[in-house]
Amino acid sequence: EATGKIPESYLPGPGIEEMCTGPMDCATGLTGKATTVLVRRRPGATRLVVTLRRLPDAPTLAPLAVRVSIPAPSGEVSAATMLTADGPAERRVELPLPADIRPGAALDVDIRAARAISAAATPAPRSLTVAAIEQI
């Protein structure tokens, strides 16, 4: 019942703070070295797609290794990508949804970057932007 209020996808915006259980600015998607975003498992979905965006004013972070994982009773599923200074500003990470997490349950989407930098106008370090989390 408690997971019924958690959306099945994440797009940055106001009023969704309950989705971001780890340290990040949920309204903008800006995150530091590690965070967790909750999404509710959608019936019929088999894959999770996470879109990550490099920080445009932080070339010293590139290349930045990022790992996305979903913990599950049967073991964690994970995938990795590299955010680079040249090439696409966004990278999509796709991973299978664990079969033992039933539809309607909350998925912990863990996002970990190799490092972070100090951010202007905020005391929190920043690594990247989580642009979207979707299920297909």
Residue 75: predicted pLDDT: 96
Residue 59: predicted pLDDT: 86
What tens digit of pLDDT does each residue of 31-40 get?
Answer: 999 999 999 9
Supply the pTM of this predicted model. Answer: 0.94
Amino acid in position 65: A
Share of the chain above pLDDT 90, in %: 81
- If pLDDT is split at 50, 70 and 90, which confidence band does 87 have? confident
- Cβ contact 76:44 at 8 Å: no
| Cα gap 99→90, rounded to integer Å | 28
Higher pLDDT, residue 124 or 74: 74
Give φ, ψ of 11 to 5 degrees: -130, 135
What tens digit of pLDDT does each residue of 20-31 get?
Answer: 998 999 999 999
Neighbours of 30 (CB within 10 A): 20
Residue 118: predicted pLDDT: 86
